[in-house]
Structure 1
């Protein structure tokens, strides 16, 4: 059984000693302390935090090995994305890819985002449009041929019936 206990506000013991913060705010040095804290934060930011961030940013932590050597593989990304969509949807004789309508964005260092659509026919012959977005990465691999499927990795695929 749950019981509820009500406490009147007058029964709560009042704080006999004001807190350190309230004393500080009421003191005549509060303006001086505010200025000192702001100056201290400024010095901490410029002398400690910013140099640390610049050191980390200039290090090799965020560097990736270049696998593209200046090549634009947008068309290859679209082609391989079609292969991944075909694998996901199944039977190749029931889907039709369009040659136009592909939108490809090169994200960074071999990563591409491909957006397009495909037409799928069901068992009754009815056609339905499926929009897809494919996040694909050219890894290069041991074989430098960009047409080989083993050199591409699917990082994400979304299919939506339109």
Structure 2
């Protein structure tokens, strides 16, 4: 009966070697990698800083908006005039000190027409005073033109 399944006398030995190799790779490579990833700062944090699925407007998101405006300001020269539209912003507290801010800014380069731009900013509060710019880490920023004014 076994002769039908075993076509080569080394087939069983190779099967055993493959199973052992897969077991070793799983335990020495895959599991440590997964444990390392789940233990990273992306998956951990203070449970009291849990996020919200809906838009949030509170003191923490207001500070995140101010910090995001600072990061947007850092993208431009000192001669550029920026007017932020802070009343029409959208903000989300996505948990563990991370915030997502969407807002608009009017950008006027010297000698050029004003351009309205929309930006989306992802920030992480690293701890400490909310008002301190050094306690925030920019994890993503996208700025796009919306419309030009004459």
Q: Deviations over 1:57-82 (max 9, x none)?
A: 9xx84762328668961111000000
Task: Structure 1 unaligned segments of length 5 or more: list them.
Answer: 1-19, 21-55
1 or 2 for the larger relative contact order (CA 8 Å, sep ≥6)? Answer: 2
Mark the CA change 1:68 to 1:77 in structure 2 (over 3 Å): closer, same or farther.
Answer: farther
CA RMSD of aligned residues (A): 2.9
Q: Which structure's residues are more often strand, by fraction?
A: 2
Query: With structure 1 as the length reference, what TM-score do the two structures score?
Result: 0.55
Task: Specify which of 38, 46, 63 is matched with residue 66 of structure 1.
Answer: 46
For residues 74 and 92 of structure 1, the distance between their equivalents in structure 2, rounded to whole angstroms, comes to 28
CA separation in 2, counterparts of 1:95 and 1:126? Answer: 12
Corresponding residue to 2:85 among 98, 104, 108:
98
- 1:150 lines up with 2:134 in the alignment: yes
So what's the TM-score if we normalise by structure 2? 0.59
Unaligned runs of 5+ in 2: 6-33, 51-57
Q: Over alpha carbons, which structure has the higher Rg?
A: 1
